[in-house]
Structure 1
């Protein structure tokens, strides 16, 4: 089972050199006024034709842009060597085969050079823990793709309860979020004849029992939200048509969507849970009983269900909760209460404190096992692990001893096993997979990923800067030990700054080989908007407060320059998705800071994002373009509306995917077309497959990364070797 149930579909991965740039200008909390001369109005945009995703005109333009980009990057004599180096990392047989625990086995999906689409397989637990898994193949996706003539991309498996040998597989054509669901038999290793099967759609499902599914699909426009997700849940009985499924809960077209998951506890207790997401952050949680109507849980709208242990429903708060007759709790706190008591009596029983993080802590993962709850807690963006148990006196915890200064992530837990799988990694430490013995509160390494680059002469430091409003913002810097403070080091600065997503230390063999080994440094900024320090850190940058996020990143960039680490002509900023919006804002607000900018699968038109694909679901993060105050703010920060003809800009590399049905590819398309019209330097790459990841398989991922690092090498480095 997953560590944290998926409550809603997640959000959400120049031809000329620059002269010395002018002195930096100070930054303030208010974004600059937008230009009225060069930027298109939302209602009078001459590039709306690029929003037609697969129109011949739009695709022809994208192919022309790809050819132009290939002339610069793929025709670089260094491309082939760099591509081989990246592909070796991606396709290595020595990668850790991460797996999920279910049916007393470990399930893994594996891709390599011989398996472009991938192989679903499983092993007994004991040989897996001994690093000698005995893999039993279940489904060869390459073979299925050949037989059916479809570019299948694996999206996961949800297996029936009570160890029934049936799973519902989710498969996507080309990597889109919209996917088909097909029932698979584990014993015969084949799809079930006349089994559960759905058309392609966005949505999800949950097993009620072996013969019933709770199905939520955006098949009917009348039952689809403005964000493109379903808002009706139906109980689907085996052997009946999907159209005959019984409606059990209906949300609203104005919601983000309705989703479901099966919550299994340690005492054999199980419940089907539904989440009616009114906004990206505000939801009503429901329990579906065996009979009767769904029952709403008495939880704050900004909270999440995290697990069920010994009858205690575990909940994390994203807002303060003052419980009548009980205590008040702050955002970020983890609580629990007796779910059965509430369902039987209809009243909230005593609520127990599980964990209250400090100001510089945040809870990352929560996983339920047979003998304890595992919780990874980031302390100043460094991971720790605790085992918590519950008895009549409440919750008590023990720390698990693991190496210091690493990121920790739970991979899999199961409520009937006292075992968990966890990884630990750092910028210079490849991931190590651990088996956690919950009873003993100990962790033993199973295997480590390969070391892909020489880290002997590298080091990692953590720094803090003061943002425009006095807030302390940390960032990491990976650099050579003998780095001189003379501004000569090429630096790649990465950030995200949104949706309460934490940026933490992580090992990248490709980054090490294609950037660090060649003299580059890497900085990771923990700016507001993320989850590094809990809900307040995220909420400080919501909607019209978003300039704080951008000021945070500007402060990090200025610190790198002021300390002599780098200089503007040697500093690049990189971001993807919401991070692509972030780098787009850096491009328009502070072009003087950068020698290069990368914007991947980005949002860039902030006056139309809510009308494109899943964009309406992000109004809770960005604000609504049609609200007078929020719309005026979005107009001031929207990269697409703040490029001027006479401005001086660094070269920007934009990339997206035709198959991205989450963030519309027109964001990147229209921005590139605008730069083309205004004569500013840019490169644009559109993968015809790939979905929101920007790549549909390992080879495409290696190709994308090679283009990115060659772009950086050409723009920021002096080296022109061809090794």
Structure 2
């Protein structure tokens, strides 16, 4: 194996002094927007051509592309949303680039196509993002995402005629959409960015607006803003009875909120304080009359359910369901009962209780997996939920809330048997003895044989986000080919509530890396994988994870694929939404945080002279969440360093963002590249003449 000759990347002499430490940043010029800077665009073109030639030559790529496509070619449904007598839901017939939105008149009515995003752009990269029917189902409010950007354009459709209204809202980002009856809606937006700064500049001064149908956006009413605190973000949610608009405010990504309520029956819509101080998480469940229900972690790290009674004296709090050992993820009021969605060791279960918290029944799940949904309305007789796992695409069920009986609404028809695979949950000790869960997904015959196989280890470990079992065609293809797929539930995530999250953020971030490294060592010690047979993968904060552990323990891994990662930990807060992430990472301009960040920043800690695994960095040119400059700089630094002869490449998607809205054909191509790269360096090959060849 000989050293690759990579495309040239100019190195500058940028050096800055931070708290007495000199920090070099030779590739800062790669932070410029590829759409605005010709030199960066040229670098991207050269790197893309180089990487594309390598990936297309990989022997397993064609199989992963073909099998990944076949595994996605089945009818898929989203959770139905009921409004009046109409049922709205999304559906993808199989390989459509974007799912379509349908409506039925009654549960068993004939489906009618309302929105087909596949007609919006020739490359399939313009997507239907969020959508909300009005209370009686007369109108549909929806947002459009172009090229993977976080920016949204909001529009309104007349459901009966299928014709769009003239109402159009621009510069919406990180916003809920909530109707007030059939006459208007609430949304959140930022000021219009300066020319050429839409995909790079930081986002400040978000406001909540009310838009009345038939009016111009310029006439929209500001209903909540904090001009004295432009760093605050705000979202609004209207209760089903139209009585209250609940405003939830945040500072960063941490689940610490202030909550205000607007009595929509009043004339002045003056906000009333419910929770102040940004101390705890508060998630609105629903409202009925003067009562509001919330899930909160106030005095309950794994969360509890409370009712807030709004009266002239203020807000009175009553605990309805106390904290339990399991994590209370969410709740909903359906009919005259509450559906509680719990997580136990990163797997889902649900139960129904009365409005005063008394247990009614459990909701039975079929194995280890993820249950989602359980939305509904007070007085409704039904709710819908989805259940999925690594070996089971999402099935949609309708549950009668009074009897608890569930019946299928939409079940996928697959060309594989889920019973051919096994999903195990294991626990392993981290460096400090902390017990950490992981899921291990394999073919049954592979697990029974007990021999080590090429393995992908996936992790995230941040922002209070839990990794739960879910279906992926590319991951199933890897397991079909004889490999193992493992998800480690690292500290920093949301699997066990506030304490688990706190254990892996800011000064405790190294715990996340230790948990991941311990997972890798466990997989080898248990004979699940072997030396030279382990690949690691993660996206966004998980891309940071992969970059950091690759620097710390390059000897452990055969291949590493950090996707859309946060790679420069000293400048992440200077772009778009990056300023929010200080809750998890700390502030680069504060010395104590700076020392921690510099110690693990992937871009700054590449170990000259060490033998690195094969690395495939992935990003997208329209990612305005984690701007692609992170990955550009990191890849250039990898290619410059003397870190062995294995390839260190960057794959740059065009007309795509951080992940959401990506068309199916691009998703298949990207997955084939990634899986083939990891197969090449872990020794995974498809057996000759096997069932799916």
- Find the aligned partners of 2:262 and 2:142 in 1 and give their Cα distance: 23
Q: Name the TM-score, length of structure 2 as normaliser.
A: 0.88
Q: Which residue matches 1:8?
A: none
Deviations 1:106-152 (A, max 9, x none): 2223345674344321124432xxxxx73101123233446xx9952
CA separation of 1:509/1:494 partners in 2, compared to 1, >3 Å: closer, same or farther?
Answer: same
Q: Which residue matches 1:32?
A: none
Structure 1 runs not aligned, ≥5 long:
1-13, 18-35, 128-132, 321-329
Deviation at 1:319, TM superposition (A): 4.0
- Where do 1:309-328 residues align within 5 Å? 310-311=288-289, 312-320=291-299
- 8 Å Cα contact 1:95/1:450 also seen in 2: no
CA separation of 1:413/1:679 partners in 2, compared to 1, >3 Å: closer, same or farther?
Answer: farther
Q: Which residue matches 1:57?
A: 39
Q: Does 1:419 align with 2:400?
A: no
Deviations 1:311-346 (A, max 9, x none): 5422222342xxxxxxxxx2222222243xx2x323
Deviation at 1:209, TM superposition (A): 4.2
Deviations 1:8-34 (A, max 9, x none): xxxxxx9889xxxxxxxxxxxxxxxxx
Q: Which residue matches 2:453?
A: 489
The structure 1 residue matched to 2:132, chosen from 158, 173, 180, is: 158
Indicate the SS of the match to 2:314: coil
Q: Does 1:376 align with 2:341?
A: yes
Q: Which residue matches 2:301?
A: 331
- 8 Å Cα contact 1:435/1:446 also seen in 2: yes
Q: Which is worse superposed, 573-582 or 149-158?
A: 149-158
Q: Which is worse superposed, 560-569 or 246-255?
A: 246-255
- 8 Å Cα contact 1:490/1:571 also seen in 2: yes
Q: Name the TM-score, length of structure 1 as normaliser.
A: 0.84
Indicate the SS of the match to 1:349: strand
- Find the aligned partners of 2:191 and 2:124 in 1 and give their Cα distance: 20
Indicate the SS of the match to 2:316: coil
Deviation at 1:418, TM superposition (A): 2.1
CA separation of 1:283/1:41 partners in 2, compared to 1, >3 Å: closer, same or farther?
Answer: farther
CA separation of 1:487/1:635 partners in 2, compared to 1, >3 Å: closer, same or farther?
Answer: farther
CA separation of 1:490/1:16 partners in 2, compared to 1, >3 Å: closer, same or farther?
Answer: farther
Deviations 1:242-298 (A, max 9, x none): 333333322257555433333324xx3532122221232222111123333211213
- Where do 1:357-376 residues align within 5 Å? 357-358=324-325, 361-376=326-341
Deviation at 1:183, TM superposition (A): 1.9
- 8 Å Cα contact 2:376/2:382 also seen in 1: yes
- Find the aligned partners of 1:338 and 1:558 in 2 and give their Cα distance: 48
Q: Which residue matches 1:217?
A: 189
The structure 2 residue matched to 1:294, chosen from 259, 271, 275, is: 271
Deviation at 1:645, TM superposition (A): 2.4
- 8 Å Cα contact 1:495/1:524 also seen in 2: yes
Deviations 1:160-193 (A, max 9, x none): 33x152222211221211021122111221111x
- 8 Å Cα contact 1:375/1:387 also seen in 2: yes
Q: Which residue matches 1:99?
A: 80
CA separation of 1:601/1:174 partners in 2, compared to 1, >3 Å: closer, same or farther?
Answer: same
Deviation at 1:507, TM superposition (A): 2.8
Q: Which residue matches 1:385?
A: 350
- Find the aligned partners of 2:459 and 2:99 in 1 and give their Cα distance: 30
Indicate the SS of the match to 2:532: helix
- Where do 1:201-240 residues align within 5 Å? 201-204=172-175, 205-220=177-192, 227-240=202-215
The structure 2 residue matched to 1:134, chosen from 96, 105, 110, is: 110
Q: Which residue matches 2:606?
A: 643
Indicate the SS of the match to 2:512: helix
CA separation of 1:369/1:263 partners in 2, compared to 1, >3 Å: closer, same or farther?
Answer: farther
Q: Which residue matches 2:627?
A: 664
Q: Does 1:654 align with 2:654?
A: no
Deviation at 1:536, TM superposition (A): 1.3
Q: Which residue matches 1:264?
A: 239
Deviations 1:89-108 (A, max 9, x none): 33x24334543233333222
Indicate the SS of the match to 1:544: helix
Q: Which residue matches 1:522?
A: 485
- Where do 1:520-669 residues align within 5 Å? 520-669=483-632
- Find the aligned partners of 1:450 and 1:633 in 2 and give their Cα distance: 49
Q: Does 1:714 align with 2:680?
A: yes
CA separation of 1:218/1:43 partners in 2, compared to 1, >3 Å: closer, same or farther?
Answer: farther
Q: Which is worse superposed, 73-82 or 686-695?
A: 73-82
Indicate the SS of the match to 1:197: strand
CA RMSD between the two structures:
2.9
Structure 2 runs not aligned, ≥5 long:
5-16
**How many correspondences in the alignment?**
658
- Find the aligned partners of 2:345 and 2:599 in 1 and give their Cα distance: 32
Q: Which residue matches 1:21?
A: none
CA separation of 1:631/1:380 partners in 2, compared to 1, >3 Å: closer, same or farther?
Answer: same
Indicate the SS of the match to 1:693: coil
CA separation of 1:350/1:143 partners in 2, compared to 1, >3 Å: closer, same or farther?
Answer: closer
Q: Which is worse superposed, 302-311 or 692-701?
A: 302-311
Deviation at 1:612, TM superposition (A): 1.6
Q: Does 1:245 align with 2:211?
A: no
